[in-house]
Amino acid sequence: MTTTLDMFTPAARETLVRAAQLAAAEGHSLIGPEFVLLALAEVRPLAGRPDGLGVTPAALHEQIRREQIKHDRGPRAQGDGVLLATLGIDAADVLRRASAATGVRPGDPALWSLSRSRIRPLRLTLDGPALRLRLTGESRKAIEVAAWSARRARRPLADREDLLWGLLADGSSPVVRVLAGLPVSIRALGDDLRTWHGSLPRRGRPAA
C-alpha cells in the first residue's frame, strides 16, 4: 500500500501540510508529532468539540517550545525568516505578495505529496514547494494508525480526528507529554473521539 495524501480528507491534508510548514518554520527537517498536534489545534471544531483541542494554538506552541523535544539533529539555530532578515529581506512579505499575485498558496495540498521511500519503507516524506520534510517515527505511526482507523470504520478517507486518534494511540509519543503539561484531559479527548467515531454513518460519508 502506498501512502499518499489521497488517503486523507481535504481537511486532514491541510493539517499535514500545515504541520510540515510549522516544523519548517522552526528550522526542523523532521515533522514531529507535536507539530501535527499543533496543526490540529489551529482548526476548530475537532471531534465534535467546539473549542477543538481545548487549548489555544499559542499556548500549545509555547508548551512545545518548553518541552524542547529533540528529533535527530534538532532544528537549525535560526529559522529562515530570521536569517533572511539579515539580508534585509522580509520573507513572509515576499511570499505573501507572490502568493497574492499568482493566486497560488504554498500550503495548498495539491502542491504537496506524501511518499514512502522504496528502499527504506519506514521513511515517509512530505514534499512541497521548496520544502522536503521527513516524518519522525512517531508521526509516521500516527498517520498509519489514522489510516487504519478510517479503514476499520469503512470510511474512504482518514480525517483530522483519525490523526488525533493516531497521535494519542502512542503513549510514548511526545504529544502525550506536551498535553500533560496543559489543562487538557487526554481521557476526555479520547471519550469525545470515541463518541465522534460512533456518530458517523458507516460507508458513504462524503469525503469532505
Q: Which residues bind another protein (CB under 8 A)?
A: 76-78, 80, 82-87, 89, 91, 94-95, 98-99, 101-104, 106, 110-113, 127-131
Task: Report in angstroms how near the CB of residue 164 gets to another protein at its nearest.
Answer: 27
Query: Measured from the CB atom, is 77 or 119 closer to another protein?
Result: 77
Considering the complex, what minimum distance in angstroms separates the CB of residue 14 from another protein? 16
CA distance 38 to 57: 6
Q: Which is nearer to another protein, 70 or 132 (CB)?
A: 132
Q: How far is the CB of 107 from another protein (least distance, A)?
A: 11
Nearest Cα to 52, choosing from 163, 148, 144, 140? 163
The total number of residues shown for the chain amounts to 208
Q: How far is the CB of 165 from another protein (least distance, A)?
A: 28
- Measured from the CB atom, is 126 or 189 closer to another protein? 126
CA atoms within 13 A on the CB side of 194: 7
Fill in the DSSP letter of residue 111. G
Please give, one letter per residue, the 3-state secondary structure of 56-122. CHHHHHHHHHHHCCCCCCCCCCCCHHHHHHCCCCCHHHHHHHHHHHHCCCCCCHHHCEEEECCCCCC
Cβ closest to another protein, residue 83 vs residue 186:
83
Least Å distance, CB 127 to another protein, is 7
User: In this structure, what DSSP letter does residue 135 have?
Assistant: E
Which residue's CB is nearer to another protein, number 94 or number 180? Answer: 94
